[in-house]
Chain A
Amino acid sequence: MTVRPQPEELLETGHRVTLAAVADVLLPSWKGLPSASDIELSGKPVDRVLSYAPELAPRLAASLSAVGDREIPHALREMLENDRKGLDLLLLVCCAAYYMQPSVQERTGYRGQEAEVIDRAELPAYLEDGTLERTVAPPNVAREFATLEEAGL
């Protein structure tokens, strides 16, 4: 049996509050896309990310501590200059949580990598329309080959 970590074990409440505020600056609502708080990103969506990659949790907590209770855009800009890794981590966790949400996927049209059966009957167009027939040997490769053939190498 696998024991799932409890939300509090993944991220403590204080950090969760900061994360909610940070995530709304990173991912505001835009042209029909929900904002981070619209999907309650700092709850289940972020738990999903941290349950999959628990090694991110301590680094996330450190980045959120670095933000503290400062004005968020200001703190983010400072991280952009002095702590790019910390900022990247915030972006990774928030964006991973965001783009995995069905309501977001509905809007972006990206539902993950989908499978498709190869159509065996279909003949590639390039065999029929003459494109492939027109392709010629690349010039340098052909020249090198001719030189070697001439020298018997």
Chain B
Amino acid sequence: MSLDIKVEFSGGLELLFSNQRQHSVTIPSIDPTTSEPTRLQYLINYLRDNLLKERLELFVENDTVRPGILVLVNDTDWELEGEGDYVLKDGDEIVFISTLHGYAGSTIIPGRSIAQ
């Protein structure tokens, strides 16, 4: 059994994920590490380990998303859904919006090399 989850990054975060805002991921419905239904925390770890291209510290901190990144579960503030403990359902849409700075100036902006 697996879950198809739609993931969206914005606010600059997409630059860490191949400069692509929308991703579809398929993850197991039972978390192999806990043998329990898969929670949002598993997805965050999965994104970090599989989709994140660089600068880990701009996405996660202390095993959760970095403060200043808003997370929405099917358009609802994840703070109302139990944050990382939210149990994922097939077809869920998870949106990560950064309100932080510091994404620019790294080397990952395609086609925007600036002569020094």
A binds B: no
Give residues in A with beta carbon < 8 Å to B: none
Give residues in B with beta carbon < 8 Å to A: none
